[in-house]
Amino acid sequence: MRRRAEALLIGAGAALGPILYLLAAQRQPLSVAVVLTSLHPALSVVLGLALLHERVDRRQAVGVTGAAATVPLTLG
């Protein structure tokens, strides 16, 4: 039952994504909003790790690290 609640919470967060994207696109430069939106797959992996205790293979770890490294490059 706990896993269902966690999965429901993740799904609700994913549903909130398009709304937040529209707000971000209206209030800041679109280049920043697009980069932050591209982090969605990495965020899914991190949430899977934190809430569902999934295992991450090497390729996924490299992808999450690369995605995280792009954020300061865009904001700076």
| Residue 1: pLDDT over 70 | yes
Tens-place pLDDT, residues 3-42: 899 899 888 888 887 888 788 788 877 777 777 777 777 7
Q: How many domains does the chain have?
A: 1
pLDDT for position 23: 85
What's the pTM value of the predicted model, to 2 decimals?
A: 0.44
CA-wise closest residue to 47 among 33, 29, 60, 58 = 60
pLDDT for position 35: 73
| Residue 44: pLDDT over 80 | no
Give the mean pLDDT of 46-67.
84
Note down the domain range covering 68. Answer: 2-75
